[in-house]
Amino acid sequence: MSIGEAARLAGVTARYLRGVARHHEQHRGEIDQAVTAGRQPRRAFLEAHRGTKNRWLVTREHLAEFLERRRPPAVRVAYDLTLTTEKSLGVLALLGDASTREAVLGSIQAGNDWALGWLEDRAVGRIDGKP
């Protein structure tokens, strides 16, 4: 079968399967030695061959062996936040005296802390499956 069809069956991208097939093609000797010695190769590999027009082909048996060996990557959900403030507050903090600067920066920090706390309360609930 084609790499595209194999990717649909495996639930991965064709690009990923082409990469692991290429890895096997380039490191076949090392992989065979590791398997013969009873060791698991460090990187994923897929036994495939190039057909007409240099397109990758894989058998169902080799795809099944790949899926049995495969360790899916760990997935972590994260937020990338940028908390901004009004320019006028930044100007006030820069141009004001020490007590004004301290009050403005403290207010900005308190607002950021509140916003992150609010998000953490709701995000943890989503991760844990709780409302």
Domain chopping of the chain, boundaries: 3-69, 87-128
* Residue 58 contacts residue 48 (beta carbons within 8 Å): yes
Q: How much is the pLDDT for 42? A: 83
Tens digit of pLDDT for each residue in 62-116? Answer: 999 999 888 877 777 776 778 888 899 999 999 999 999 999 999 999 999 998 8
Looking at the chain, the whole-number percentage of residues with pLDDT higher than 70 is 92
Provide the mean pLDDT of the chain.
Answer: 87
Strand extents, DSSP E, 5-131? 49-50, 56-57
Q: How much is the pLDDT for 92? A: 93
Count CA atoms within 13 Å of residue 82 on its CB side. 1
Task: List C-alpha distances in Å: 48 to 8, 43, 69, 122.
Answer: 16, 15, 15, 46
Q: Tell me the C-alpha distance between 123 and 118, whole Å.
A: 9
